[in-house]
Chain A
Amino acid sequence: MGWSVVQLVVSAGEVILVIELKLSSIKDTRPPEYVVRFLFGGSCTVLAGLIAKKYGPGVGGLFLAFPAIFPAGASLIESHEKMRKAKLGYDGSKRGRFAVSVESSGTSLGCVALAGFALVVWLGLAYANPFAVMLAAAAVWLLIAATLWAVHRNRVFHGRLRVRERHKIT
Chain B
Amino acid sequence: MSDLVLRFFIGGMVVSIFALISDVLRPRGFAGLFGAAPSIALATLGLTIVKDGPQYASIEARSMVLGAIGFLVYAICVCRLLARSGSPALVATVGLLPVWAGVSFSLWFLLVRSSS
Contacts of A102 in B (CB 8 A): 27-29, 32
Q: Does A58 belong to the interface (CB within 8 Å)?
A: yes
Please encode chain B, from 46 to 74, with 1 for each CB lying within 8 Å of some chain A CB and 0 for all others: 11110010111111111111111111101
Q: List A77-133 residues whose CB lies under 8 Å from chain B.
A: 77-78, 93, 96-115, 117-119, 121-122, 125-126, 130
Contacts of B83 in A (CB 8 A): 97-98, 101
Contacts of A62 in B (CB 8 A): 63-64, 66-67, 70, 104-105, 108
Contacts of B71 in A (CB 8 A): 65-67, 107, 111, 114
CB–CB B63/A103 < 8 A: no
Q: How far is the CB of A32 from chain B (nearest CB, A)?
A: 13
What's the interface size class on A, roughly?
35 or more
Q: Give the docked Cα–Cα distance between A107 and B52 (Å).
A: 31
Residues of B within 8 A of A (CB): 3-4, 7-16, 18-20, 22-49, 52, 54-72, 74-76, 78-79, 82-83, 86-90, 92-94, 97, 100, 104-105, 108, 112-113
